[in-house]
Structure 1
Amino acid sequence: MVGQALPLHVATLLTGLLECLGFAGVLFGWTSLVFVFKTEHYFEELCEPPSGTLGNTTGKEGDAFSPEAEFWLHPCASCHPFLHPGLGGCPGEDLGTVTSPGKLSKSDGGDPRAGVTGLEGWEDGAVWPVCPGLLSLPFPLLDCKAQDERFSLIFTLASFMNNFMTFPTGYIFDRFKTTVARLLAIFFYTSATLTIAFTSTDSAVLLFLAMPMLTVGGILFLITNLQIGNLFGKHRSTIITLYNGAFDSSSAVFLIIKLLHEQGISLRASFIFLSVCSIWHVGRTFLLMPWGHIPYPLPPNYSYGLHPGFSSQSLACVLGMAPQQRKRRTEQENKELQSKEFLSSKDETSGPGQQQGPGSFWSYALSWRFAWHLVWLSVIQLWHYLFIGTLNSLLTNLAQGNMVLISTYTNAFAITQFFGVLCAPWNGLLMDRLKQKYQRDMRKTGFSDASVALFSAVPSLALTSLLCLGFALCASVPFLPLQYVTFVLQVISRSFLYGGNAAFLTIAFPSEHFGKLFGLVMALSAVVSLLQFPLFTLIKGPLQNDPFYVNMALLLVTLLTFVHPFLVYRECRARREAPCATA
């Protein structure tokens, strides 16, 4: 790396990290955003009046609520775990109490209805908790199952698009290069944030359009940023996994929006701010990113900004060519660089003079290497999706319905998810260090750089499978305190999974096909992840809420993921022994 280019490369790296951390994967903070949507009464028309009272237990003096009450508090009901089963939250320091059945008073002895209008007909049986920092009004207790299903459907659609749409977006990145892909990402992202900003209770159905667009824009941001690792040579895998970890941690953005909303900052103001940030995205696209792709290995004096892929010294010469000549020269140089780094196993084992450049996309997409990588990714991802989808049910069973414990463990799980950005780079660091070690040891035997890079991925693949196995074993043991270990293993395994997936694809296949292969493997794994719904139905139905048999079956399937690193290892050994065999 030329010293003069280092500041530009570092600026590209840091701004790309900020882009992934602040924008790319915000969808996975959906739980926090749903809370805000509910306080804004989105889809509240789907709620129905209850069919009966809350219960037949009589309230007594000093109770936090009376089960005979016909009204609970909204939106503050989640502020005390006893006020809304299934919801945990902050402790209620100043809680109104039931002084007698059908009566209530504030902790300071005053009338909770004093100075409040619009409470006609709500005088008797209302619950009045006062939560720190929140002004709360009583609302009728309603059955909002249909509302929850509507929000769940929006998230299901958006999360499916997060994986499935990586294939067409990857094709766009490969075919039309970086600038076009990023401008499309900015269009989708800005359209989504503006749509959310100006939705209301009457137009909440637009979330079905906005959230998938937000997801597609975010995944395009990630795809276009992953190539930045090519600028840093031996640290390439570390940077790729760092970006994937930042993508995971960006779920905190919606939590920040929720906290700002509680402090009086409107949802519209927050999303308008995200929309205005598109100016920064556009500036970064033209000033800190190339028009085309960042090649790997990086050619000498590579620069971008004026003209991608050429040094400033050669720019004047190149501009003297006709447009078609410049295009042919650019493509020829890129293909020469790629063919030196990426060779199929057939190319590397062929005789002298028979080496060829990178093959077609389908030759790699239909290879055994890609097929087993798909199995590896799909099985581990299915474990994570099923665990997240059934976590509340798991904690409810293990805590025997104790809402305080359920809330504590739910918060612990949410906090661990924020550390994905710290966990992911360790996987890339492992791959980069092993690659450097293997290069020193194997160059004496004639082992190619491409084979060394592939060999360095074997420990990472095996370690990710091992982490998933440990996470799955802990999740299958019905012991509540053990779930703290499960949460830690889950976030490490997930960070290793997605960072390792991107890093392996850049190592094992030519960079000219990276976008399409990355998109294809994510799209196919998204189809496999749909199995989580029938598995969840099986647990809740025939298995009567006992996940033991499903967990055991998935544990056996998890063992298949170890086949992938074994086959890659065997392929590398075969390449290493090939020169000896022909000697």
Structure 2
Amino acid sequence: MKLYIRCRALCAVWCAIEILFFGGIIYGWGSLVFVLKEEGFYYEECVSVTAPGELTYNNTRSITTPVSIQLKDTFLTPVADGDTSDPRPKSDDGYEKSPSQLDSNQDNGAVSEPGQPSHTCPQQESKLNLWFSVAVAFMYLSMAFLGELTTRLGTQITRHIFTFMFVFGALCVAFATKDIPWLLCPGLCSIAVSGLVIFATNIQVANLFPRLQSTVVALYCGLFDSSSVIQHMMKIAYENGVSRRIFYICLAGFALVMLSISTILFLPKSYITKQKIRRKSCELEIKSGRLLPELKGLKDQRETDETSLRTCIWSVTYLMHVAWMSINTVTFVTFIGLINVNLEQLSDKKQVVSKYLGVFAYTTMCTVVAGILAGMSYDCQRKRYYDYPSPARVWRPVLLPMTTTSILGTLVYVLLLVGSLTVMVPIFVLFTFYRSFLYSIGVAFVNDAFPEQHFGALYGIMTFSTGLFSMLQYGFFSWFDSYQDANIHVTIFLLFLCVSTFIHPVQLGIRSRQTDNTDHSNIEQTFLPPDTLESDRKL
């Protein structure tokens, strides 16, 4: 018998560690892009020669220096007249320091204009953000097929495939250089997709804890977000002499060992369902001679609802939930993609930008706490409405946490309009709770409001739709640098999107009240889950 039955606590902890280390690494983009810019990725897009002795940074500023321009290794490097040596110092890990690093030195003759970031370059930001946009969109779009793939191949085979995919992605990022930057694309895409598969296959462990199901789901969602801190650990290692290549090679090896152990020893070949847990628990009780009274009539209880998948997909509840998740996701990933350039516009000091990126990374570690709070709030609401008739029993518990999610997202973009470093820390705190509530409640509601046998397909379709919608983020990136004050207009538009997400909880509340005293047969009653069994609550 699999260990997930006998040692469910150990299985839950192991899967939680996996999600923390390998799940949402892609969300640590702010720290990774900082390192990539330091290494000179796409910096040639920022520099051009207009006249002898004049170095022009495209769309930023012109710097006149008493030096000539020497073309070397695709970089335009200022050197003193008559000096034929390579002026570019080497970092401790062997990488050549990029022009952005040289700009920060006072002896290179560069003079920054007051209030102008010393190393902001829209072309470089655009190139790097393109890979981030592609990776995030590819991650969400792939879930439309991964749900069916997991159903057909089972948990173990699927995890074996994507374990090697994660290793491949980590090695691509490790060996990407400024001369072959395109390796970032397959690397980031592979890491993003395999990380989401690790999360999706581990979330079934929540079915081992029926009384704390939403809390476990929320905990795992919080850990998925917290895994962005791994990228910050890479940034700290880079600043202390450990190269990005060494870090990612070690990460690939660690993933291969840890993911293989859990796939072989802990998780089942197929999928953990509540019905399977009830059956296994009954078998254990019979073997131990301690058959619980409430399990005596287990064979007579009704089976899981057999509603078709099509009925669930075309229901108003599911369509509105997909729209709610899609809008919140695009505002969420756009904030992450623009955090670096937002900080650079607020400060012209690289050290200050690095400091706030660190604060952001450490703040996101609290998504575990925020995720638990989100899950507990949902579970408390479920207990409150436990004796209510359907659909109020399913819809009303989500109203408070879902409304809280929309409020948090709105506050993030309201404070972002202030345009000051003093409000960035409160923004980071609010954003941490926003991301935790978003994915914890979004996933838990699908798991709670629809038949469990359709969870993989419904979750995959939802992430596919959010992936399509998330591709709008690259349009926001381009809009952000297109003209003066464009950043304000982008923030206002994203604020409007956050406000529009209040529609979903409002319509759920209205519909649940309207149907209290009416016939439920034509209002999606067919796929609402049956009442929780007493045996479930004892597990």
Q: TM-score normalized by structure 1? A: 0.70
1:70-109 matches, within 5 Å, as: none
Partner residue, 1:420: 367
Q: Amino acid of the residue matched to residue 221 of structure 2? A: N
1:36-435 matches, within 5 Å, as: 36=35, 50-51=49-50, 53=53, 68=66, 121-122=84-85, 149-197=126-174, 204-277=181-254, 278-296=256-274, 299-300=277-278, 302=280, 339=304, 357-395=305-343, 401=348, 408-435=355-382
Distance in 2 (CA, whole Å) between partners of 1:420 and 1:480 is 22
Partner residue, 1:490: 431
Distance in 1 (CA, whole Å) between partners of 2:69 and 2:216 is 53
Distance verdict in 2 for CA 1:406–1:268, change over 3 Å: closer
Distance in 1 (CA, whole Å) between partners of 2:520 and 2:47 is 76
Distance in 2 (CA, whole Å) between partners of 1:286 and 1:204 is 36
Tell me, what secondary structure is at the counterpart of 2:401? helix
Task: Note if contact 2:222-2:369 (Cα within 8 Å) is conserved in structure 1.
Answer: yes
Tell me, what secondary structure is at the counterpart of 1:165? helix
Deviations 1:40-85 (A, max 9, x none): 67668878665454679xxxxxxxx99656799xxxxxxxxxxxxx
Distance in 2 (CA, whole Å) between partners of 1:455 and 1:508 is 11
Cα distance, 1:369 vs structure 2? 0.6
Cα distance, 1:194 vs structure 2? 3.9
Which of the pair has more CA radius of gyration? 1
Partner residue, 1:530: 471
Q: Amino acid of the residue matched to residue 513 of structure 1? A: H
Q: Which segments of 5 or more consecutive residues in structure 2 lack a partner in the other structure? A: 57-62, 71-78, 104-118, 288-297, 522-539
Tell me, what secondary structure is at the counterpart of 2:385? helix
Cα distance, 1:511 vs structure 2? 1.5
Cα distance, 1:6 vs structure 2? 7.3
Distance in 2 (CA, whole Å) between partners of 1:69 and 1:266 is 32
Cα distance, 1:127 vs structure 2? 9.0
Distance verdict in 2 for CA 1:312–1:279, change over 3 Å: farther
Deviations 1:243-293 (A, max 9, x none): 111111112222323433444545444333333332331221121112222
Cα distance, 1:458 vs structure 2? 1.6
1:558 and 2:521 correspond:
no
1:545 and 2:502 correspond:
no
Distance in 2 (CA, whole Å) between partners of 1:188 and 1:212 is 10
Cα distance, 1:395 vs structure 2? 4.3
State the structure with bigger RCO (CA 8 A, min sep 6), 1 or 2. Answer: 2
Cα distance, 1:503 vs structure 2? 0.7
1:454-533 matches, within 5 Å, as: 454-533=395-474
Distance in 2 (CA, whole Å) between partners of 1:392 and 1:269 is 24
RMSD, aligned α-carbons:
4.3
Task: Note if contact 2:218-2:440 (Cα within 8 Å) is conserved in structure 1.
Answer: yes
Tell me, what secondary structure is at the counterpart of 1:289? coil
Task: Note if contact 1:230-1:297 (Cα within 8 Å) is conserved in structure 2.
Answer: no
Partner residue, 1:11: 10
Distance in 2 (CA, whole Å) between partners of 1:576 and 1:220 is 39
Task: Note if contact 2:175-2:183 (Cα within 8 Å) is conserved in structure 1.
Answer: no
Task: Note if contact 1:199-1:206 (Cα within 8 Å) is conserved in structure 2.
Answer: yes
Cα distance, 1:229 vs structure 2? 0.9
Cα distance, 1:300 vs structure 2? 2.9
Distance in 2 (CA, whole Å) between partners of 1:577 and 1:424 is 35
Distance in 2 (CA, whole Å) between partners of 1:419 and 1:293 is 30
Residues paired across the two proteins, number: 478
1:29 and 2:7 correspond:
no
Tell me, what secondary structure is at the counterpart of 2:310? helix
Partner residue, 1:577: 517
Q: Which segments of 5 or more consecutive residues in structure 1 lack a partner in the other structure? A: 57-64, 73-100, 104-118, 304-308, 315-332, 340-356
Distance verdict in 2 for CA 1:135–1:524, change over 3 Å: closer
Task: Note if contact 1:454-1:507 (Cα within 8 Å) is conserved in structure 2.
Answer: no
Task: Note if contact 1:231-1:298 (Cα within 8 Å) is conserved in structure 2.
Answer: no
Cα distance, 1:394 vs structure 2? 4.3
Tell me, what secondary structure is at the counterpart of 1:286? helix
Task: Note if contact 1:230-1:295 (Cα within 8 Å) is conserved in structure 2.
Answer: yes
Cα distance, 1:209 vs structure 2? 2.1
Distance in 1 (CA, whole Å) between partners of 2:36 and 2:15 is 30
Distance in 1 (CA, whole Å) between partners of 2:223 and 2:308 is 32
Q: Percent identity?
A: 25
Cα distance, 1:5 vs structure 2? 7.5
Partner residue, 1:351: none
